[in-house]
Homo-oligomer: A and B are copies of this chain.
Amino acid sequence: MKNFINSSDIQDYNYLLGEINKCKNGLSNSKSILKNKVLGLIFFNPSLRTRLSTQKAAINLGLKSIVMNFKDDGWQLELDDNIIMSGNKAEHIKDAAKVISQYCDVVGIRAFANLENKEIDNSDKIINSFVKHASIPVLNLESSVAHPLQALADAVTINENKNSNKPKIVLTWAPHPKPLPHAVSNSFIKMCKINNYDLTITNPKGYDLNTRITDGIEIIHDQNKAFKNADFIYAKNWSSYDDYGKVLISDNSWMVNDNKMKLTNNAYFMHCLPVRRNVVVSDSVLDSKKSLVIQQANNRTYAAQIILKELMSDEK
């Protein structure tokens, strides 16, 4: 694996799920291999789970982490080429990427969508500039359009809890007071496709995701109907993709609650966190025994660990 930018960078999910299982059970040891290597973690946006789980993964591997919150610790980066840099951006991303490559052996980048311009967000400039200009492997810690480490942790969690070979998984839109990016949903859908999971998407009209992502997946605009016989409910808010970055619904009619969960096949509840309690999902569902959210968070460590190992093993 050269870089890990998208769920489709994983060529063999089953192999990775097996490796992650070995990790979790202490049957994998790559500490000595990586112990003089450096992981750069570059955050353009806030982070809790990603920040801690990736550092924990590095510690498990013997990798040293250097963390930089780019906006606070550094300065603004120019993303466009052929620009006279006389404004407020002190450094070009191509130079930053080359320089960071001098000090690190692998670099993780978190850079959210701005939700102001669909075309710019879809071009995913920050992470793609790193891929283009860095001379070290690049790890996506959530970009404008993808969060493949979350999707891999979700795959591990589904794999650990499924009761049948082909469980019914429902990705449901849920309310949120602020407009949110599409990265988590995009990667979850891609991961389900690659693993050939039985996925249904349910969201209000006006909230259909990028059709290039959802192509081939059934979208049902009636949440109650979609929930029927579901084995896993994966809740996530996203802002409108058509009316880009907008919040169109402010009521709680799409919140996941006990009544809706009763329509399912005693489904597990999943969410990537952070979650707005009693907005996205009721306390009762989130705190129930069927809630897998903490297990998902825990699996982030092992997803990061196995991907870092893959990225670094290609470097040797």
Contacts and interface: CB of A to CB of B under 8 A. Distances in A.
Contacts of A278: 82-85
Given A43-B73, A56-B66, A283-B82, A48 B91 contact: yes
Instruction: Specify how many copies of this chain sit in the oligomer.
Output: 3
Contact of A301 (B52, B90, B103): B103
A301 B84 CA distance: 30
A277 B73 contact: no
Nearest to A69: B73
Contacts of A84: 277-279
Interface in A68-125: 68-69, 72-75, 78, 81-87, 90-92, 95-96, 98-100, 102-104
A277 B90 CA distance: 9
A81 to B, nearest CB: 8
A72 B276 CA distance: 19
A62 to B, nearest CB: 10
Contacts of A100: 48, 52
Contacts of A87: 177
Interface in A196-214: none
Contacts of A73: 43, 46-48, 51, 69
Contact of A95 (B74, B95, B275): B275
